[in-house]
Amino acid sequence: MSSVKKFVSDTVIYGFTTIVSRMISFLMTPLYLRKFKDAAVYGVYSNLYASVSMLNAILAFGMETTYFRFLQKVDPQDRGRVFNNSFIVTLFTAALLLISIFIFIDPIAAWFANGDRPEEYARYIRYFIFILVADALAVVPFAKLRAQGRPIRYSYLKFFNIFVILLSNLFFLVYLPAWIKTSAFWADFATGWFQEGWIGYVFLSNLLASVLTLCLLLPEILTLQLRVDKPLMKSMLAYSLPILVANISFIINENLDKILFPKLLPGEAGKTDLGIYAAVTKLAVFLSLFVTAFRLGAEPFFFSYAKNENASRTYARIMEFFVIVMVLVMVGITVNLDWLKYFIKGNELQPDVYWTGLKVVPFILFNFVLLGIYMNLSVWYKLTDQTRFALYISLVGALATIGLNIVLIPVFSYVGAVATTSVAYFIMIGLSLYWGQKYYPIPYHFLKIVLYLVVSLGISLISFFIFDSNFWIGNGMLLLFAVVILFLERKQLQSLLARRK
């Protein structure tokens, strides 16, 4: 099997469940937007999930990447020690966070609430802390399944999680409200506790899925031996700490705008704008899916392939194919916004409230392309064990994100947030390229990549702002762009197909 083919295979296997999960979330978005009373409620939803993503990074402590790296550094008989150390770290961080949150739950709830129903926010936070703990404790066992090459069990557990979330959401938001109106049994069952359209049911569904999934991972968890290998642990923590800070900084770049929105634009207007921003971001789900699937397949592959003589050339080819797919998807979504926008149609009272944010969708999509490129570039510091550079790059990006968000969001709302993300990713890409080509040179075709980026962004903007997302003109430009790429890449594709045969 060729190296690129194996990489694609790993990406498809381990990314498929993530793709399905995100697709379910995307398809559930119209339901949320219609069931929640207004855009401000969806803003609350987005604010809480953005904040949780930050804590997720802290709890995982960079152990997923560290686990894969150290499996390649120890002898096969010592891999159990890597699992023990990795899981013990996440167990410790989860316990520490659980205790801390419950001690300070009242001030935390007050901070999120901004004076609006802090007791309700305290209830949400209790749900989320157990979601966080369950998800954190599942990180290393899931990584173990990937390292062992067990895609069937991995996929089964991920699909189970998806099924529970989907079924629970449908029960609380669709079926139970309908049954209450037609059945005395269900009306009695719901008396005293059920609140139709309550956002907390989404969080409760997530909690149920996370806890049940963790229970199903017990066979992997029970292989744990509560013994710390101190020399190995010291090396692992030294490797993972910069990864942790980098992951936190990455979350800052991706989600800080949603976290700070209620503070920088207080009141209902800020919540409404955040709801609009979060809803239009959902239209970029296909690019987000591809980036996530790429990460799931890339990390184990890059580590296992690093010792090959032609590794750097393979990484360069992966970057090219990655960019091609990303820009085609970016253009494909943009030119079809005229009908995709109905996925974020509001309720009867506000049917088109979310459509006011469509103007930033081409730039949100472009930001996902930039994110994917940065993730591709990050291979060099992971393979050379120079994760301190991840710390430097991410901190610079995070500082840029914090500063620009504070300046731009109060003036330009979510337009300023999108512009901030673009600037931060450009800075991070530039720094990673500079240091990466110095310490681990990879022969990227920079001119070709930049050309694809510029042309794809140009087509997207022309389609949306000049031709008003006309379906036929936009898709005609997409088809022409795809044909040109196919012609330019014909030799590479022929070579890849020949290897597959």
Tally of domains in the chain: 1
Residue type present at position 155: S
Write down the pTM of the prediction.
Answer: 0.73
Do residues 65 and 237 make contact, with C-beta atoms less than 8 angstroms apart?
no
Strand, helix or coil at 191? coil
Q: Is 222 helix (H, G, I), strand (E, B) or coil?
A: coil
* Helix (H) / strand (E) containing 433: helix 414-439
Q: Which of 238, 236, 301, 304 is nearest to 78 (CA)?
A: 236
In contact, 259 and 54? CB cutoff 8 Å: yes
Contacts of 501 (CB under 8 A, 6+ apart): none
Count of beta carbons in the 10 Å neighbourhood of residue 407? 13
pLDDT, tens digit, for every residue of 249-282?
A: 777 777 788 888 888 887 777 878 888 888 888 8
For 308, the 3-state DSSP assignment is: coil
What residues contact residue 296 under an 8 Å CB cut-off, 6+ apart? 10, 11, 14, 15, 18, 146
Residue with tokens 């088809």: 479
Q: Tell me the torsion sign for CA atoms 20, 26, 31, 36.
A: positive
How many C-beta atoms surround the C-beta of residue 351 within 10 A?
Answer: 13
Closest CA to 135 of 98, 83, 173: 98
Domain that holds residue 331: 3-500
Count the alpha carbons within 13 Å of 23 in the hemisphere toward its beta carbon: 11
Give dist(CA 479, CA 150) in Å, integer.
38
DSSP-derived letter for residue 378 is: T
3-state secondary structure of 335: coil
Question: Which pLDDT value is given to residue 208?
Answer: 95
CA distance 319 to 298: 11
Cα 271 to chain centroid distance, Å, stands at 22
* Contact predicate 127/134, CB 8 Å: no
For position 37, what pLDDT does the model report?
67
What single-letter amino acid sits at 326?
M
Number of Cβ within a 10 Å radius of residue 202 = 24
**Which residues in the chain come in under a pLDDT of 70?**
1-16, 18, 22, 37-38, 115, 293, 295-301, 303-306, 346-351, 494-501
d(CA 9, CA 3): 10
Distance CA 10, CA 301 (A): 8
DSSP tag of 2 = -
* pLDDT of the residue at 13: 63
Using CA atoms, how far apart are residues 470 and 188, in angstroms rounded to an integer? 51
How is 395-417 classified by DSSP, letter by letter? HHHHHHHHHHHHHHHHHHTHHHH
H/E element, 443:
none
Helix-, strand-, coil-residue percentages of the chain, each rounded to 5: 85, 0, 15
Exposed/middle/buried for residue 198 (C-beta within 10 Å: 0-12, 13-18, 19+): middle
pLDDT of residue 1: 44
Please give the Cα distance from 364 to 220 (Å, whole number).
38
Q: What is the 3-state secondary structure (H, E, C) of 446-484?
A: HHHHHHHHHHHHHHHHHHHHHCCCCHHHHHHHHHHHHHH
Nearest 5 degrees, angle CA 305-CA 308-CA 314?
70
Task: Name the E strands within 350-453.
Answer: none
Please give the pLDDT value at position 73: 80
pLDDT of residue 20: 74
Counting every residue written for the chain, the total comes to 501
Residue 192's CB is within 10 A of a number of other CB atoms, namely: 6
Supply angle C-alpha 318, 321, 327, rounded to 5: 135
Task: Give the amino acid at 52.
Answer: V
